[in-house]
Amino acid sequence: MKINKPISHSSLTNDPLHKMFDEVDAISVQGYDEERRVIYWNAGSESLYGYSKEEALGQKLEQLIIPKPLWEHIIPAHSNWVHNNIEIPASEITLLNKAGEDVNVFSSHVMFVNQENKKQMYCVDIDLSDVRYAQEQAIFKEKMLEAVFEASPDLFFLMTEEGIIIDYRAHDKKSLYIPPNKFIGKSMVDVLPEHVANKFKLHFNRALQQEGEASFEYELAMPYGMVYFEARISHLPDNKQILGIVRDITERHKSSEIIRQHAYFDTLTLLPNRFLALDRLSQMLNEAERNNECAAVFFIDLDDFKKVNDSLGHEVGDKLLIAAANRLNSAIRKEDTVGRLGGDEFIVLIRDIKSDHDASIIADALLNIFREPLRIDGRELILTLSIGISMYPQNGDNASELLRNSDIAMYQAKALGRNAYSFFTKEMNVTMLRRFEIEEQMHGALERNEFEVYYQPLLDVKTKKIIGAEALLRWHNHSLGHITPDEFIPIAEHTGLIIPIGQFVIQQALSFLTYWQQVTQNKYVMAVNLSPSQFRDKELFNFVKNILRDENLTANSLELEITEGVLMTGQSYVAETLMQFDLLGVKLSMDDFGTGYSSLSYLRQYAFDVLKIDRSFINGITLNDEDRNLVKAAIAMAHSLGLAVVAEGVEMHGQLLLLEELGCDFAQGFYFSKPVPAEQFITLSKNYKLDEP
């Protein structure tokens, strides 16, 4: 039966087994007969070992790919299998290719028996260099990852979807809240403090349910202090795991703390700034509403701070603000707030107050602690406060209303003469509304020709002749009617509109003077009032000089009336401007003498020509010795300094007689004439004759 005829290779090519091997050309498959001659060699073998199918077929296994040293193992092993059925186990083995190079393979073997009952060994060799490469890659990647972990200050936690920690990486074990053996196998939620655990729980759910990722911040008390962390949670659905990356953000937190400090606190005094103070005010009001309590808002303005700042310099001013802030802070309860609203304005918030009376006790206490001088650079400075108080709920139920009303009340405290406090009343609101209306109407008033300059005669006390006039401004507004200068001048100063308005007065008064002198063929002096803020106009001097030139007037026909307030600003440009006017020959007059500080030093320091005694003293000279003595002393003193004296507000014959007796040079007042419009003034001055009784 047995036909011992050599196996023809072609007879086997149709073998379904070969067909299958032909398909898998990525894997090397070889077939050998009982004599180890190649009967099958697929494409995978061609590329792995370098022999073509034609080259390989019929060759002996050991001649092709088995290195010599292995012959003694492989040849007997094959024969053992063929004859004794002892299988050759699969193994890793290094074979040779056609070029004589090593080829690492994982070789497995199967034995088939063919139709002719011949045994055929098939070897399936997997190229291990690929696998090795993959393995090396895996090792490399792992090492790289380790290096990344090592270099990263972040903490990595690998968790199950249930939050059980299965692995971690930490560059520095110190940054772990508890040692690894205490958390591996446990849930984050079990090992962290409750408030942090809750955050983890919440964000695990977020990451798992929808977003896939979630991040949040938390802080932990570590042995070396409070540490701020940022956690990023990623769901790895393929691995059914959660990755948590935790970063120490304490530094970042610190710098954002600094930014916060800048945003909410005043850098100079370190008090809450306007923004934070108003926020606290709203909070206080919410609380007061909830608990049915009263609260008070104090609006505090330092008196005459601008003068100190201008005369002693900003550095001293800054130190003074700091000292004042500290003093205010030391005077209030811990639960109350002192904030700086800006400039020299502060706010004090007093919670849970029983009555207005309580608020006035606190206000008194605040005024009191400022009686003690503040020591700045070895200097002792007295600072006083003006306090405006608004009460919750009587004076408003929201922050802006209470702030506004306390501000209004503060103005009232200033009007009371400073170093005082004032409770808000509804009437004050009326005053403020009026102020706003005036401010609004004043814009455009010049263009609408609503201003007119009136003139009041100045008389020589001895001769009773008109020697000049004072220009006094009048304003008639279409909607507000007549507004007195005492009311609108301070507002014009405040808004800066005093500069164009003041220029209008100077222009009008000087061209009127020219006209007046022309029609009367007489020489007169024109007195014009200048307020402190007009000196801020750098062009003031040139403006005046040009008009004098254009109107062909001598400089000494103009007299500028200024108050002590101008000099007290201490600004160098004020002194310079006054000096320029003096050099030009313009006369300078100290107005309202007796009402302010009445400091003699100013009279000596600046080149004044005239002293104008305030009408409040003139009013009293015939009534009380005090006023008479003061006027007498003022006249004597002015004369000794070479100044002429003007008495203003003369209303009665008796006053004039007394002034003459005291040696007063000039007088002005209703007794002679009220301020009148230009044309009327011309008529008046042409026929002037005082009717003395």
Sites of contact with ligand C2E (CB under 6 A): 456, 471-473, 484-486, 489, 502, 505, 529-531, 561, 591-592, 615, 648-651, 668-670, 675
- Smallest distance from the beta carbon of 522 to Ca ion, in angstroms? 22
345-353/294-302 β-pairing: antiparallel
- Give bridge partners of residue 153 from the DSSP assignment: none
Peptide bond between residue 393 and the one before it cis (omega within 30 degrees of 0): yes
- Smallest distance from the beta carbon of 510 to Ca ion, in angstroms? 16
Rg, the chain, Cα only: 52
d(CA 571, CA 32): 114
Identify which of residues 317 and 669 has a Cβ nearer to Ca ion in the complex.
Answer: 669
Task: Give DSSP secondary structure letters for 358-405.
Answer: HHHHHHHHHHHHTTSPEEETTEEE---EEEEEEEETTT-SSHHHHHHH
- Smallest distance from the beta carbon of 322 to ligand C2E, in angstroms? 35
Tell me which of ligand C2E, Ca ion, none is bound by residue 101, counting a contact when its beta carbon lies within the kind-specific cut-off of 5 to 8 angstroms: none
- Smallest distance from the beta carbon of 324 to Ca ion, in angstroms? 34
The residue range among 15-23, 36-44, 511-519, 527-535 that interacts with Ca ion, by the rule CB under 5 A, is 527-535
Smallest CA-to-CA distance from 372 within 382, 387, 364, 362 is with 382
Burial class of residue 16 (count of CB atoms within 10 Å of its CB; 0-12, 13-18, 19+): exposed
Q: Which 127-166 positions form the footprint of Ca ion (CB under 5 A)?
A: none
- Residue 565-594 contact track with Ca ion, rule CB under 5 A, x = bound: --------------------------xx--
The residue range among 407-415, 422-430, 524-532, 568-576 that interacts with Ca ion, by the rule CB under 5 A, is 524-532
| Residue 493 engages Ca ion in binding (rule: CB under 5 A) | no
- Smallest distance from the beta carbon of 471 to Ca ion, in angstroms? 9
Q: Which 591-610 positions form the footprint of Ca ion (CB under 5 A)?
A: 591-592
Identify which of residues 266 and 614 has a Cβ nearer to Ca ion in the complex.
Answer: 614
Burial class of residue 125 (count of CB atoms within 10 Å of its CB; 0-12, 13-18, 19+): buried
| Residue 529 engages Ca ion in binding (rule: CB under 5 A) | yes
Tell me which of ligand C2E, Ca ion, none is bound by residue 489, counting a contact when its beta carbon lies within the kind-specific cut-off of 5 to 8 angstroms: ligand C2E
| Residue 561 engages Ca ion in binding (rule: CB under 5 A) | yes
Identify which of residues 592 and 665 has a Cβ nearer to Ca ion in the complex.
Answer: 592
Residues 6+ apart with CB under 8 A from 89: none
d(CA 238, CA 166): 16
Tell me which of Ca ion, ligand C2E, none is bound by residue 597, counting a contact when its beta carbon lies within the kind-specific cut-off of 5 to 8 angstroms: none
Tell me which of ligand C2E, Ca ion, none is bound by residue 348, counting a contact when its beta carbon lies within the kind-specific cut-off of 5 to 8 angstroms: none
Tell me which of ligand C2E, Ca ion, none is bound by residue 669, counting a contact when its beta carbon lies within the kind-specific cut-off of 5 to 8 angstroms: ligand C2E
Phi then psi for residue 340, to 5 deg, are -105, 120
Record the tokens describing residue 247, joined without a space.
Answer: 């970063």
The DSSP output letter for 192 is: S
Identify which of residues 214 and 473 has a Cβ nearer to ligand C2E in the complex.
Answer: 473
Smallest CA-to-CA distance from 299 within 371, 401, 368, 439 is with 401
d(CA 422, CA 408): 9
Please report, in angstroms and rounded to a whole number, the separation of the first and last CA atoms in the chain.
177
Identify which of residues 149 and 671 has a Cβ nearer to ligand C2E in the complex.
Answer: 671
- Smallest distance from the beta carbon of 590 to Ca ion, in angstroms? 10
Identify which of residues 81 and 504 has a Cβ nearer to ligand C2E in the complex.
Answer: 504
Check: CB of residue 215 under 8 Å from CB of residue 203. Answer: yes
In the chain, the amino acid numbered 343 is: G
Check: CB of residue 295 under 8 Å from CB of residue 361. Answer: no
Identify which of residues 529 and 557 has a Cβ nearer to Ca ion in the complex.
Answer: 529
Which spans of this chain sit near Ca ion (rule: CB under 5 A)? 529, 561, 591-592
